Structure 1
């Protein structure tokens, strides 16, 4: 006797449609999460630019001598090209919009970024307050986008080598 009921290998049309619907719903959910995350995330290029600005400013400051040599003039606050000591940078950037080179020229493309520098005497372990400086470089980016990054703050210390 022949078996009239053969088992078919594969899936039925109904099973295939149900599987496609489930996969479609899952993909739609993943795309929605990806879109929301991308929309609210900070642009990494902006963060990298802020870090580079802060790092370069800190490096410039730390390369200066701790104290003014006798006979060296005190530069004007806006004359960064003639800053000769670490302390000369205190207050730099407070009234400036955009990033500027050493001569004070605005750097194209960096108009939205701002840098501010604070240099204050501080006490460190085994170093008196008169012989140590705390340098804080803060870089911000202006704009109304809520996804803009928080300020980048670098802190460094400089001691009197003598």
Structure 2
């Protein structure tokens, strides 16, 4: 006997609701899985940026000219006393990231520095080409790379 005051859901309604909720959960889990797999990429980019910024600051704080001699052992840069000492540091493939005294930094990162004399068209006529250096720092981690370009001028004349 059926009474209109009885309430509830039928078996078919429960099955349909479970299918809809299951499909929705599968979609959400798929998105979360994809996000978890690629979540390290921003960290790698941030570390490459920090490494390049640190190297750029180190180079730009050096005097424009020095004694002209460069004595380095591996990644030890403690004897670098001028901007030009960093020219071709790490070569084309880069060198393991390390601090100025040669202490090894984070694994998997390589850094390379290129220094070009002259303004490269950035400043025309204002500063003589011999008094300008374009500094390009490239940091690599596997297939990822980050490049930072800066300039240093001989603003003090020495």
Fold shared, TM-score > 0.5 on shorter chain = yes
The answer to whether the 8 Å contact 1:77/1:92 transfers is: no
Question: Tell me, what secondary structure is at the counterpart of 1:6?
Answer: coil
Shift in CA distance, 97/120, structure 1 to aligned 2, threshold 3 Å? closer
Counterpart-to-counterpart distance in 1, 2:63 and 2:6: 86
Per the alignment, residue 145 of structure 1 pairs with none
2:123 is equivalent to residue 127 of structure 1 = no
2:65 is equivalent to residue 80 of structure 1 = no
Length-normalised TM-score, structure 1: 0.76
CA RMSD of aligned residues (A): 2.5
Match of 1:156 among 150, 153, 158: 150
Question: Map of 1:44-55 to 2, 5 A cutoff?
Answer: 44-55=42-53
Q: How many residues align?
A: 148
Counterpart-to-counterpart distance in 2, 1:62 and 1:8: 82
* Unpaired stretches in structure 1, ≥5 consecutive residues: 143-147
- CA displacement at 1:16 relative to structure 2: 2.6
Length-normalised TM-score, structure 2: 0.78
Counterpart-to-counterpart distance in 1, 2:151 and 2:101: 25
- CA displacement at 1:84 relative to structure 2: 1.1
Counterpart-to-counterpart distance in 2, 1:67 and 1:73: 7
Match of 2:11 among 7, 10, 13: 13
Cα deviation 1:51-91 (Å, max 9, x = unaligned): 221111111001001122xxx35122545211111111011
- CA displacement at 1:133 relative to structure 2: 0.9
The answer to whether the 8 Å contact 2:59/2:86 transfers is: yes
